[in-house]
Amino acid sequence: GQNIDQPTEMTATEGAIVQINCTYQTSGFNGLFWYQQHAGEAPTFLSYNVLDGLEEKGRFSSFLSRSKGYSYLLLKELQMKDSASYLCAVRGPRDYKLSFGAGTTVTVRA
């Protein structure tokens, strides 16, 4: 099975940087996804890592270390609209299935 851990809540100031960590223990690994979910809305795709290293996409970057079972999502130049829940999800040995962490609620303050 999959065990995915991420912090429950984080608070940061507008314009700052926040790093959301995700650790996982898995019986097989076929990639790690980050999703953003605003309250009452569908999760929206942010990033996908399958190889070690950093993937940068505008203000958002995602890092993966498979040997450490570790990923982080980096949000730069925070804006108020970035206040949301961020979900870490691991694709396991059945490579179609995503297992999700409980999500990290990020609150951006002025």
Partner 1 sequence: GAGVSQSPSNKVTEKGKDVELRCDPISGHTALYWYRQSLGQGLEFLIYFQGNSAPDKSGLPSDRFSAERTGGSVSTLTIQRTQQEDSAVYLCASSLQGGAGNTIYFGEGSWLTVV
Q: Does 97 bind partner 1 (CB under 8 A)?
A: yes
Question: Which residue, 17 or 50, has its beta carbon nearer to partner 1?
Answer: 50
Closest contact distance (angstroms) between CB of 102 and partner 1 is 4
Question: Which residue, 27 or 110, has its beta carbon nearer to partner 1?
Answer: 27
Tokens of 29: 């690994």
CA distance 28 to 6: 19
Q: Does 25 bind partner 1 (CB under 8 A)?
A: no
Partner residues linked to 53 by β-bridges:
64
CA distance 51 to 35: 18
Q: Does 108 bind partner 1 (CB under 8 A)?
A: no
Name which position in 21, 23, 30, 61 contacts partner 1 (CB under 8 A): 30
Whether 37 and 50 have beta carbons less than 8 Å apart is answered as: no
Q: Does 52 bind partner 1 (CB under 8 A)?
A: no
Helix (H, G, I), strand (E, B) or coil at 101: coil
